Structure 1
Amino acid sequence: MTSKCFRSGFLLVFSVTDYASFEEIFKFHRQILRVKDRDEFPMLMVGNKSDLEAQRVISIEKAQELSRQLKIPYLECSAKVRINVDQAFYELVKIVRKFQLSERPLDFKDDSKRKNKKRCCVL
């Protein structure tokens, strides 16, 4: 993970062929929550190099187990052969939008519904 951060969400990327990069995910997750001073924040865990099945050291099950523990979705991709790369960003955008909607005040969420409803008043 680079030191550049995004305001809206994070991709936590590790290599499925490198156990050390996988171990860093937990630390980065904890660090993001600490810096953001939140219990949750939009994140997606991504296992890269899924095309290198023969060199894989992190099983899909092990990665999914960590993603459940961290309560963030998991996706595998291969940057080299462009499998699921775009999908990772689309998924993160969905996660960010869902998070932002959940953060809005209730009155703001209901404004669109109120505008379309006709009101009547009995005097």
Structure 2
Amino acid sequence: MASSQNGKKQAPIYKVIMVGSGGVGKSALTLQYMYDEFVEDYEPTKADSYRKKVLLDGEEVQIDILDTAGQEDYAAIRDNYFRSGEGFLLVFSITEQESFDVLDEFREQILRVKNAEDVPLILIGNKSDLQQNRQVREDVATDKANKWLKPYIETSAKTRDNVDKAFFDLMREIRNRKLAENSKPHTKQKDKKKKKKCTIL
């Protein structure tokens, strides 16, 4: 019965938002994940949205990726983007200290907009293929992630290193959050049903 019901069900959608300064490689990561191609010079002037079906631990799901533009001019619009997201990849470039320093601000804005103390989020240090130009040490980035109680992954959109891992790990975080949230109202409903049954008896 469950399998026939699942057949009719639409694959669950996981809404992922790419967040970070301009030029850190958010679009390059997104396009590498979506189309297996590396785009060196891609400068979006507005947010772009992508969707594809993938297998997450054997289950067919849809990932919906919103690639935000990253420029400061869009700070006001960002609130709307963040509101629609279920999980966030906070991306900086390991070759650019400033892109790392602004992440606290992005995270605070996400938590404020989501009105939550915690959201599914992974810290991403991109451009790991450019070790010779590294400005942000791995242990410093790991410390920040640990402080946030979040994972830290170093990726390279160029070599595709850890690109799939970043998106799949975030989808798992979103799934776990959904399961946790769904279990709360169900217990209340069960309690109500039990009470109703008791009154009938």
Shorter-chain TM-score range:
0.7 to 0.9
Structure 1 residue aligned with 2:100: 22
| Higher strand content, 1 or 2 | 2
Return the offset for 1:80. Answer: 1.1
When the two chains are superposed, the root-mean-square deviation of aligned CA atoms in Å is: 1.8
- Taking the aligned partners of 2:180 and 2:103, their CA distance within structure 1 comes to 25
Q: Deviations over 1:23-79 (max 9, x none)?
A: 111111111000000000111110000011110011110000000111211101000
Specify which of 129, 138, 141 is matched with residue 60 of structure 1: 138
Instruction: Compute the displacement of 1:105 (Å).
Output: 3.2
Could you tell me which residue of structure 1 aligns to residue 120 of structure 2? 42
| Matched pairs, number | 110
Q: Secondary structure at the match of 2:101?
A: helix
> Which sits farther off after the overlay, 57-66 or 95-104?
95-104
One-letter amino acid matched to 1:66: K
**TM-score under structure 2 length normalisation:** 0.51
Match of residue 87, structure 1, among 139, 161, 165? 165
Mind listing any 5+ residue stretches in structure 2 that lack a counterpart?
1-19, 21-67, 69-77, 188-201
| Aligned mates of 2:142, 2:175 — CA distance in 1 | 23
Identity %: 39
Local SS of the residue matching 1:87: helix
Supply the AA of the counterpart residue of 2:85.
R
1:102 aligns with 2:180: yes
